[in-house]
Every structure is written in C-alpha cells, then in structure tokens.
C-alpha cells in the first residue's frame, strides 16, 4: 500500500530534471555562526501572529502583517507555525473553518510582503506516524489522515512551499523511514516544493529519549531520505543550547553538504523542479 501511495504521488516523468537540493537553517542555538558560506540558507519563522488581547482562535490581520514584515527583515523565506488549528479530533466543520483561517493568513501575508516566500509548518500534510505504519491492521487511521489532508490542501495552493514535519519520536530508523516516505509522498501531491523540517534530537514527547541526539548513522539516513524524496530540508532546533561545532550531528551534516557538491543529482531522483 505504501509503495502504491508513493508511486501515485511521484510520477517517473517528473524526475527528468531534478533541482538542486536546498538546506535551510532555522536553527535556534545561541552562538550560532553564519552558516550561509557552508551551504545553509537562512530561514526564520513565527507562531506569534496575535497581538495582546486578540484570541488565537481568530485571525489577527494587524498581527499577521506585523509578523510577516518582521520576518522579511531577517530572511526572504519564512514559515508560519500555527499548530492549534486543524486538529485530527476536530469535526469536519471545524476543520473547514480552520482551513479558511489559514487561507486568510496567507492572503494577508502575501499582501503585506509580496516578494516574500512562505509556507505553513506541519499543515497539508499533517504529520503522522502510526497511520502509515499500522495501515494494514488499522486502515481507518490512514483514511482519516488522508481526508484531513484533502481538506487542508487548498492551503498549499496559497503558499510557496510545503513544510511537513518529520521529527524523530523513536529510535527506530526503519519505522521513521516508512512514515517519512509516506508523508513526503502526500506532500508531493500538492504540487509545491517540499522542504520537511528535521531536528537532530529525539522529540521531547518521548521522555526516555528527549534531548538526546539522534545517532549519527540514523541522522544521515534521515538527510538522505529527504534528499531522495524532497526538494530540500529545513534544519530546526537547539533552543536553549549553545552551538557546538564538534557535535556529531553537525559533523555528519557537513559531510552530507559536501556530498551534495561531489555528486550530481540522481537522474532517477523523484524530486521535481519547480
């Protein structure tokens, strides 16, 4: 089923001329050096789109304009992080209302900064893991996830990029890979450049692994999967930490960046030029 899902989303004819793989820097460590010369392009983002006293259940037009103009002063590419709209347990009516709010935010952001390029973090498609891994025994989970993505697809049409979330919850490279390929296939269907968010530490929802760095080999595999199935990747994380030039994940990332220069894009790569 997963193979079919990927095949449907990535047509062989699209692979004729793959675009360069882009690595974005949305890292948060203090003491972070300028990574542009090393091949990382600056990206910033915000989830603070509401002025004081304005409900975050509504769209704050002034707040969105202010945030967008501020983000544009930092980078020409940015993301909006709105995680409390379009929830899996919401009714279809509520999801439709939330989609309309996302579309309104996109329209305001576009009019405020016409030359900016943006997308919404973890929206269309939403992150999932078990819906893909358990699709044989619990197909209803996959159906529900797909329906949510269908409802939210118009959001991607108003954005420049799709930013799915591929964070690591378990020390299970094979499980991560299977879920990631499924999410990226769903993202590819939307017809926009796909730049998944990755972070070098296990997700803090896993109390046993929270804060631990992903093993170097596992991290490299994540980067390679994104290289194969996406147009680039957004590196995020490190809030409250000091930059460590000798961190294992960063050493592996540098080797990955160098490999992008050493080897041409694979002609069979399912990424597409946009």
pLDDT of residue 261: 86
Angle at 250 between CA 211 and CA 161, to 5 degrees: 85
Q: What is the pLDDT of residues 218-250, one digit of tens each?
A: 999 999 999 999 999 999 999 999 999 999 999
pLDDT confidence of residue 263: 65
Model confidence pTM above 0.85: yes
Cβ-proximal residues to 114 (8 Å cutoff; 6+ apart), any chain: none
Max Cα–Cα distance, the chain, nearest Å: 53
Q: List the chain residues with pLDDT less than 70.
A: 1-18, 263-274
Tell me what pLDDT residue 7 has. 42
Please report whether residue 74 resides in a domain.
yes
**Number of residues that make up the chain:** 274
* Tally of structural domains, the chain: 1
DSSP for 130-155?
HHHHTTTT-HHHHHHHHHHHHHHHHH
pLDDT computed for residue 97 by the predictor: 96
In a domain, 3, yes or no: no
Determine the structural domain holding residue 154 and report its residue range: 19-262
Is residue 29 assigned to a domain?
A: yes
For residue 42, the cross-strand partners are 25
What one-character DSSP code corresponds to residue 126? Answer: P
**Inside any domain, residue 129:** yes
CATH number, position 176: 3.20.20.70
* pLDDT of 217: 98
pLDDT score recorded for residue 265: 54
In this prediction, residue 264 carries a pLDDT of 57
Q: Are 233 and 196 in contact (CB under 8 A)?
A: yes
Distance CA 115, CA 118 (A): 10
- Does residue 9 belong to any structural domain of this protein? no
Strand partners of residue 23: 40, 233
d(CA 171, CA 176): 8
pLDDT of residue 10: 45
């Amino acid at each position: 089923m997963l193979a079919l899902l990927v095949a449907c989303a990535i047509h062989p004819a699209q692979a004729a001329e793959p675009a360069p793989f882009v690595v974005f820097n949305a890292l948060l460590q203090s003491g972070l050096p300028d990574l542009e010369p090393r091949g990382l392009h600056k990206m910033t983002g915000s989830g603070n789109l509401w002025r004081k006293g304005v409900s975050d259940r509504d769209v704050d037009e002034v707040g969105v304009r202010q945030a967008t103009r501020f983000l544009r002063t930092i980078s020409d590419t940015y993301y909006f992080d709105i995680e409390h709209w379009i929830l899996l347990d919401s009714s279809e009516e509520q999801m439709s209302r939330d989609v309309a709010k996302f579309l309104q935010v996109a329209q305001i952001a576009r009019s405020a900064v016409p030359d900016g390029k943006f997308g919404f973090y973890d929206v269309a498609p939403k992150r999932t893991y078990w819906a893909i891994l358990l699709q044989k025994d619990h197909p209803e989970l996959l159906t529900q996830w797909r329906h949510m993505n269908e409802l939210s697809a118009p959001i991607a049409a108003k954005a420049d990029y799709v930013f799915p979330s591929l964070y690591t919850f378990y020390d299970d490279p094979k499980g991560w890979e299977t879920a990631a390929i499924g999410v990226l296939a769903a993202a590819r269907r939307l017809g926009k450049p796909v730049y998944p968010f990755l972070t070098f530490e296990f997700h803090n929802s896993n109390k046993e692994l929270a804060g631990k760095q992903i093993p170097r080999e596992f991290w490299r595999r994540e980067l390679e999967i994104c290289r194969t199935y996406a147009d680039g990747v957004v590196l995020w994380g490190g809030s409250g930490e000091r930059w460590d030039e000798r961190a294992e994940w960063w050493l592996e990332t540098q080797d990955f960046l160098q490999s992008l220069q050493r080897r041409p894009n694979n002609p069979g790569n399912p990424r597409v030029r946009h």
